[in-house]
């Protein structure tokens, strides 16, 4: 893993990140477009973390902290680079960021049917809280 480089994404990365999510991420997010990612980077320039190897984008995660909750989104590793510890490294970087900001607990939404993801989250120390349901309302 010595050649893995994790850095915060900037505006010039947006197009590449959107293309990467199409091949690597689970499903699509409501914010997966140029404006959505640009807004994230403008609001919190340290939130979108990219993992690169030899200059190629191999992983991503959003380490979102709003002053109250620490929420992890868009954890994704390129299909050709899985089971090499990249997600684990991204989650370590995410948790270091949260700890530095004073965050108290890291949480993520994980689809029930995404069993591979369950393994990865469990391996990183996360556990499901069965008593909650996600409640949502579209804003537009
Ligand atoms: C889930 C995902 C991010 C894992 O990325 P990864 O880089 O392959 O994970 P890592 O190599 O860091 O794995 C860390 C640990 O997780 C567990 N794990 C990861 N993938 C696994 C699999 N397919 N089967 C069993 N365990 C697995 C293992 O314990 C692994 O440690 P080990 O390889 O030493 O046994 C990747 O499969 C992915 O991008 N999937 C599609 C997007 C997605 O579902 N994201 C999560 C949304 S909630």
Say if residue 1's pLDDT is above 70.
no
Q: Is the CB of residue 38 less than 8 Å from the CB of residue 11?
A: yes
- What is the overall mean pLDDT for the chain? 97
The answer to whether the CB of 83 is under 6 A from ligand 1 is yes
Closest residue CA from atom 48 of ligand 1: 110
Give the pLDDT confidence score for residue 84 in this predicted structure: 97
| Distance between Cα 119 and ligand 1 center (Å) | 6
The answer to pTM > 0.85 is: yes
Q: Residues 55-76: pLDDT tens digits?
A: 999 999 999 999 999 999 999 9
Say if residue 2's pLDDT is above 80.
no
Give the pLDDT confidence score for residue 140 in this predicted structure: 82
Quote the strand ranges of the chain, DSSP E.
4-8, 48-53, 56-65, 70-77, 106-108
Q: Which atom of ligand 1 is nearest to the CA of 26?
A: 42
Picking from 47, 35, 66, 63, the residue whose alpha carbon sits closest to that of residue 9 is: 47
Average pLDDT over residues 108-120: 97
Q: How confident is the model at residue 28 (pLDDT cuts 50, 70, 90)?
A: very high
Give the pLDDT confidence score for residue 59 in this predicted structure: 98
Domains and CATH numbers, the chain: 4-123 (3.40.630.30)
What's the CA gap between 125 and 93, in Å, rounded?
14
């Amino acid at each position: 893993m010595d050649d893995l480089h994790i850095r915060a994404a900037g505006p010039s990365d947006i197009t590449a990140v959107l293309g990467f999510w199409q091949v690597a991420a689970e499903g699509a997010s409501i914010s997966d477009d140029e404006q959505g990612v640009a807004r994230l980077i403008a609001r919190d320039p340290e939130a979108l973390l990219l993992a690169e190897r030899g200059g190629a984008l191999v992983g991503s995660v959003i380490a979102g902290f709003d002053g109250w909750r620490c929420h992890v989104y868009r954890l994704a590793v390129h299909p050709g680079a899985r089971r090499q510890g990249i997600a684990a490294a991204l989650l370590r970087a995410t948790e270091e960021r949260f700890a530095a900001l004073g965050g108290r607990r890291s949480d993520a939404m994980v689809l029930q049917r995404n069993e591979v993801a369950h393994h990865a989250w469990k391996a990183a120390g996360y556990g499901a809280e069965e008593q909650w349901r996600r409640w949502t309302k579209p804003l537009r």
